[in-house]
Structure 1
């Protein structure tokens, strides 16, 4: 807000400079002054927007983490919200969206982000990000067992964008790397993959 206010205040300052330029030089520098002022204003507003975006994302993550640190008893309302989140994930495969976050889930449900975060935390015992990653790992394990797709392709299809994050979450939930898991649980060729996957994440 402060940077935006400064950008707005720069407008009358620019007018004053142009007035002096018109009086002293007949306006020979007015074009350059206007161009410089516009560039400066755009830079200030762009910087303000970037800072605001980072702050909002940081606040959302902190809120999600703070709810994950405490797990009070789930209420019937929490169970209903968690069930709605489950249904949303199942019907829309929403977890495959690499940009999915708490805010987007809450908007889809028409509920406050804090309420959704609390419900998922109390019912599933995890943060929203951990819950979503659990869904993604479930899909990755299904694809690892049922297809010959490269692991990188499976990572992307499951909703992960970062290989390091995928490997870390996969190991956190299954205790194995994706390659080791496929080697251990991939059924022999010609047989049907098991319906129930071992070590199913939340």
Structure 2
């Protein structure tokens, strides 16, 4: 029995020695020591629509035109990348089969703070001619907030030159907020 115990102890020592040798050999693997000339640029981070500051708060407006003739849509935005150009693109009844540009665009001024001081605003008045919500029935109003160029509602990435001369696509982002508006016949005209 003593021989069996010695054999098990010898196997444990051999296993421990083997594990130690494998772990220590990791120090012998050559390490990449390429030094950077400068600190690389941060990758772009997405903007955010602040839900608590959106107007109107209800996403479904059941009777636009019954009580009032004007409706104001607003989005408040923040972006951790304070130098990004933020644009709010307003779409009304967007049809992907017949794509058109935005109904309105509004660029938010940079304040060097994550939260932009002004808001993307769209005022709709049923009393005005060529009003996109003038036809009775349901309509979709969308605010697309982007920090890059939009082409057919799709973000186009921005190429960034790296210190080693290569380029990298820095992605752009788009976030959306939408309302369903049911226009009813009223006395706004």
Which TM-score applies when normalising by structure 2? 0.22
Which structure: greater strand fraction? Answer: 2
| Structure with larger RCO (C-alpha < 8 A, sep 6+) | 2
Which TM-score applies when normalising by structure 1? 0.21
Structure of larger gyration radius = 2
Which structure: greater helix fraction? Answer: 1
